[in-house]
Amino acid sequence: MAKNEAPPTIEVKLFVDKEKKKVLFAESDKEFVDVLFGFLTMPLGTVVRLLDKQSQMGCLDEVYKSVEDLSADYFEIKACKAMLLKPLNAASGHCCRLKINVDDTKPRAAVYVCKDTSCCARDDFAFSSVPDTVCRCGKVMESVGDRPPDNGAKTEAAGSDYGVFVKGCQKFITTDDLQVAPASTSLMLSLCKKFGVQDPNDLDKTTLQLTSDKQPLTGLHFDVPISPDDAPLVWVDWSLWNEQVNEVDDKVVKIKVLQTKTNSAVLYAEVGHDFVDLVFGLLSVPLGSVAKAFCQPLPNGCIDNLYRSIDGCAEGCMRAECKNLLLTPELPPFFGCGASQILQVNQIAPRKIKIDFCFTCFKIGGFSGYSRCHQKGRIIRWDGYDPEYGYINCQKYTKTAEVSELDPKSPEGKSDHHSAYVKQEPQNFMVTDCLRVSPLSLDSCLRVVSDAKVEMKELVEKEVTLTKFQVREIQRAALMSRDALSSVLVPLRRRRI
C-alpha cells in the first residue's frame, strides 16, 4: 500500500436494537465473511500478539509472556523463540488475498544455505527459511536472497464471483455471536422471531466501514469496552475420565505438583523441558484446530459458532477447495510439536525449490547463480590442444537441482523431523497454576508460596505421571480457565472444566 493511500475498508450494514444497544446481526458481501473465516487459520500465538497479550483466552496470555521473558538459551536454537512469538499461518497464501488481513505476520521469503561449497552436507541440497539455522557441518546458514514469487500461482480473475473462502455474489448475514449464513427470507423471519422484532421500523440500520480493527460487532458500533468474560466454565462429564485413562496406557510426561493438603489448589508444578514444550507449542496451533479438537464452545468468544457455520448454514457457499482448509487447519512446515501431536494437528510438507543450475553455484550466487553456472566461452585445455567452447565457471554436467527445506529447530542441522522448541537438556522449570513458565529457583518457589498466603505445613508435593488424555485436558483448560493446573489435577476442581 502506498504511503498516502487510504487503508482498505469493507462495508457492513448493521441492524441494531437501539433500546438494548446491541447489534442483532449484520449484512455484508463475501469480503467480510472471508475475513471472519480467515480467523480460523490464525495461530493462537498470533491472536494473543495482535490483541497485545489481552486476549482473555484462558492462560494463553501468560504462556505468551513466558516465551517472551525466557532467555533464548533455553530453546533449541534462537529461531525457536521467534517461531513461537510470531508463528506462521499455513494458509497465508489465501489470507494474503483477503481485502483486510489483520495478521501482519510476513511469510518467510528469505532463503538461507551453507555457503561452504566443500562442506560435508553439500549433497543434502538443504536450505532454510529461518535465520540462524545450523547446517549439518556446524556452520550457520547465510542468506542467498529472497525466493522469487510463484508466477504460476492461481489467481482469481477480476470480476470473479469467487471470494477467498466463499463463493457467490449474494449477501451474507452474520449474527453478533458470529453465526454466518446466506441472506434469505426464511432467515429474516427466523432472526426477527429470535430477537423479538415485531416491527422492522424498530431496528436502526447503519452502515459501518470496517478496517483492520479487531472487535466484536457490538463493540464496533457502540464503541464500548470489551469486559472480561467471567461466565462459568462449561461442564464436562467426568464419568468419562476413568474410561479414557484406562484406554490410554501410554504415559506422556512426569511432573511434581506442589498443592494444598486440602486439595483446594495447585500452587505450581516442577516440570522438565518436555512439559514446557507441550505448553509453549499451543501458540503455533491454529484457532480452527482448537474448535475441531474440543468440539465444545469456548467461554470467551464465538469461534465455535463460526467454525460450525462452515459445515452448517454456510456450507453451500463455501469453496470446495477451501472447506477442508478451514475445518482442518494445518501447521506450516516444522511447526509441529508435542502440543500439536496431542491435538492431532498435521503440518504441511516442507517446501522444495527447483533451480535450473547446480547447487554449488546456488551457494555462491544465490538465485542469480544461473548466469554463473551456464556462462560459456573458450576454455584453455590442460593438454595443450586448441581451446574449446564450454562452461567457463562450472564444469558440472548436471545443471539442475532441487533444494529441500531443512528443519530449523534441529541444533545439528539434521534433515529428519525435530519437533521440540525447548532445549532437550536436564533443566527444571516452574509452571504456575495460570501456566506462567519460568526457570525453577528457590526464590521463585518461596515467592509463589508467600503470594498464596499458605503456611508450609499445609503444603504437599506429589509426583504425577500425565497421560495423553490428561495433557489434552490441561491444553483445553489453558484455553478456558485461568487456573489450568488446578482445574485438571485437583479432584475437587475437575467438575469446573
* DSSP letter for each residue of 362-402: HHHHGGGHHHHHH-EEEE--TTSSPPEEEESS---S---EE
- Grid coordinates standing for 44? 493462537
How many CA atoms within 13 Å lie on the side-chain side of 288? 26
Q: Is the pLDDT of residue 164 over 80?
A: yes
For the stretch 295-353, pLDDT in tens is 766 655 688 889 999 999 998 899 988 999 999 999 999 999 999 999 999 999 988 99
β-strand partners of 180:
174
Closest CA to 270 of 67, 109, 426: 426
Give percent above pLDDT 70 in the chain: 83
Neighbours of 212 (CB within 10 A): 15
pLDDT at position 294 is 84
Q: What are phi and psi of 4, to 5 degrees?
A: -100, 10
Tell me what the mean pLDDT of segment 419-432 comes to: 92
For the stretch 101-156, pLDDT in tens is 888 888 888 899 999 988 887 778 899 888 888 888 888 889 999 887 764 444 45
Closest CA to 434 of 451, 419, 446, 422: 451
- Grid coordinates standing for 304? 465455535
Q: Angle at CA 216, nearest 5°, toward 210 and 222?
A: 75
Neighbours of 25 (CB within 10 A): 23
Residue with grid cell 554449488, as numbered in its chain: 360
Q: Is the pLDDT of residue 88 over 60?
A: yes
Q: Is the pLDDT of residue 222 over 90?
A: no
pLDDT at position 173 is 94
According to DSSP, residue 82 is labeled H
pLDDT at position 186 is 93
Residue type, 485: L
pLDDT at position 239 is 39
Residue type, 58: G
β-strand partners of 379:
388
pLDDT at position 8 is 86
- Burial label for 22, CB within 10 Å (0-12, 13-18, 19+), is middle
Residue with grid cell 437501539, as numbered in its chain: 18
End-to-end, the C-alpha distance of the chain in Å comes to 46
pLDDT at position 241 is 37
Residue type, 463: E
Residue bearing the bigger pLDDT, 466 or 217: 466
- Grid coordinates standing for 291? 474448535
Residue with grid cell 457457499, as numbered in its chain: 317
pLDDT at position 492 is 57
Mean pLDDT (the chain) is 84
pLDDT at position 44 is 96
Closest CA to 173 of 310, 30, 304, 320: 30
The answer to whether the beta carbons of residues 90 and 105 sit under 8 Å apart is no
Spatial distance between the Cα atoms of 38 and 42, rounded to a whole number of angstroms: 7
- Grid coordinates standing for 432? 504456575
- Burial label for 394, CB within 10 Å (0-12, 13-18, 19+), is middle
pLDDT at position 60 is 95
Lowest mean pLDDT across 151-155, 171-175, 298-302, 366-370: 151-155
The alpha helices in 75-140, defined as continuous H runs, are 78-85, 92-95
Could you give the 3-state DSSP secondary structure of residue 348?
A: coil
Spatial distance between the Cα atoms of 491 and 493, rounded to a whole number of angstroms: 5
Could you give the 3-state DSSP secondary structure of residue 81?
A: helix
State the Rg of the chain over Cα.
Answer: 27
Could you give the 3-state DSSP secondary structure of residue 136?
A: coil
β-strand partners of 113:
142
Residue with grid cell 463475501, as numbered in its chain: 30
Domain ranges within the chain, ordered by starting residue? 10-151+160-209+250-353+417-489, 357-399
pLDDT band at 392 (very low <50, low <70, confident <90, very high): confident
Tell me what the mean pLDDT of segment 2-24 comes to: 82
The answer to whether the beta carbons of residues 267 and 275 sit under 8 Å apart is no
Lowest mean pLDDT across 108-117, 223-232, 262-271: 223-232
Tell me what the mean pLDDT of segment 425-454 comes to: 94
Tell me what the mean pLDDT of segment 438-465 comes to: 93
Spatial distance between the Cα atoms of 150 and 9, rounded to a whole number of angstroms: 28
Lowest mean pLDDT across 18-32, 297-311, 398-412: 297-311
Neighbours of 8 (CB within 10 A): 15
Could you give the 3-state DSSP secondary structure of residue 317?
A: helix
Tell me what the mean pLDDT of segment 39-64 comes to: 93
Give percent above pLDDT 90 in the chain: 48
Spatial distance between the Cα atoms of 50 and 42, rounded to a whole number of angstroms: 11
Could you give the 3-state DSSP secondary structure of residue 469?
A: helix
